[in-house]
Structure 1
Amino acid sequence: MLQTTLVFGVAYCLFYMQHVEASCGFYGGVGIRPGERPITTCKYRGWEISINSTFRSPAPYCEECTCGDGGGMACCGYGWKAGPIGIQGCVRIIDYSTCDSLFFDENDTSRPCPGMPRIPASSISFP
């Protein structure tokens, strides 16, 4: 049953999703000069992230960042911030409190989109 549901869900996404675009960026990174103390953390919106570790920021930021040597960070959006998603016959509404995308019928926005009413943030990321 689980395999059938998973296969149907993947097939539905491949058939009906019109486009998905990733949202990634690289920030900071100054390197270390001879005689300087090694950089051990990266700073992101007030949080400190250890070198060579990954941090997933909560809503509404919705970014997963990896702190690299020298204090540079590579960040990609997840959930709604992963990028635009289009599903044929549906209108997308962003839930900024959870990073989820909600979909409603384009002809009647009071009705959830058939088969794909919500895409949880945990299922959309582009590392």
Structure 2
Amino acid sequence: MDMDIKIPFPCRLIEESNARKVKRALMDIIEEKNIDTVVFGLPLSDEGKESEWCAEIRRFSEFLLKSVKVDIVFVDEYGTSKEADFILRGKKKKVKSKANDLIAATLILENYLNVLNMNNRNQ
């Protein structure tokens, strides 16, 4: 029986636009939860190509790595916001606006863990 089961869950929403404040909030979460891998979603195009926003995310990850020792993983986030919208259908607009990002982030992490689990099974 595999006792090394990982389950994705939303931690908290970081509502900052300043990169330094986002970095500080992430560093606090990394330390508090003893995190060794940070997964970033990349908003790839329908054709799977990276946009300028992807480059910005990669630059931010390098900025984060200057302060913490973690592994960084990038995952295609295509469709996760729409899937989060579907999960939240019927909820009030105020609830949706905050919960959508948390659910989408959880789905991105879940996608990464699914790939990781499949790779571990195939080894």
Question: TM-score interval w.r.t. the shorter chain?
Answer: under 0.3
> Could you state the TM-score of these two structures normalised by the residue count of structure 1?
0.23
Q: Of Structure 1 and Structure 2, which has the larger fraction of its residues in helix?
A: 2
Relative contact order higher in (CA < 8 Å, ≥ 6 apart): 2
Structure with the greater alpha carbon radius of gyration: 1
> Could you state the TM-score of these two structures normalised by the residue count of structure 2?
0.23
